[in-house]
Amino acid sequence: MSLNYLVVLIIVSLRSEYAVDSVPLNQLHGSASPGEAEKELEFFFPVEHTLAVIKPTAVKEHKGKHSRTCIPSLWISFQNNCGPHSYKILMKETNFTHEMATQFYKAHEGKPFFDQLVNYMSEGPSVIMILTKENAVEEWRQLMGPTDPDVAKKSSPDSLRAQFAQDILRNAVHGSSNKDHALKSIEYVFGESLDGYSSICPPVFYAIYKKQ
């Protein structure tokens, strides 16, 4: 007996059990194919993408001794606080040039801290991640905590910035402010297409992290 046939039998059985005589409609629905299931899941549980950055100081201080991008203590905190749902993660290590950092933070151009921010972001490698899940933008922002680590320690002591930030400039992590900003940032850092990254990067770069 095929799996599809078994699923159909189960649905038919449940429909018989829960049928309402006065209602000429099925009380249960099941996707007819994997493709249809994927479309329906996307409709009812839409996922978002957000761009997350582990900044140079955090990479340097928490980098594993035997792995180019292993950041044990920060990742343990990330896994312990990421909630009951999985993040699908695509990431790579990048050295921002001065020009790249200037373009990446263009929205802050003209602000008093802009030059310091650009210089800081181009002083060493960062880990750039695309995080994918429902409500990814807001949940990553909550996990990061307030921009100022002093505020984060008081209001969100379990946040990444409360635990790993040095000061308001070297505040460990970055996240997109909204969905549009996320898509623009992803396109800028990763290019228009993500095809090939899973084969270019080592397998450890592409993973699903989930709270145990």
Element of type H or E holding 131? strand 125-133
Comparing CA positions, the residue from 54, 52, 120 lying closest to residue 89 is 52
Question: Does 171 count as an annotated binding residue?
Answer: yes
Question: Does 141 count as an annotated binding residue?
Answer: yes
CA 148-150-152 angle, to 5 degrees, is: 70
Comparing CA positions, the residue from 40, 54, 124 lying closest to residue 89 is 54
CA distances from 35 to 9, 26, 86, 134, 208 (A): 20, 22, 21, 20, 22
Comparing CA positions, the residue from 74, 52, 49 lying closest to residue 128 is 52
Active-site residue, 174 included:
yes
Question: Does 113 count as an annotated binding residue?
Answer: yes
Strand order in the sheet with 173-175: 173-175, 48-54, 125-133, 87-95, 206-209
Question: Does 95 count as an annotated binding residue?
Answer: no
Question: Does 55 count as an annotated binding residue?
Answer: yes
Question: Does 15 count as an annotated binding residue?
Answer: no
The catalytic residue among 29, 66, 85, 174 is: 174
Quick check: 27 and 19 in contact, CB under 8 A? Answer: yes
Which residue ranges make up the annotated binding site for ATP?
A: 55, 113, 141, 147, 161, 171
Which residue ranges make up the annotated binding site?
A: 55, 113, 141, 147, 161, 171
Which residues are known catalytic residues? 174
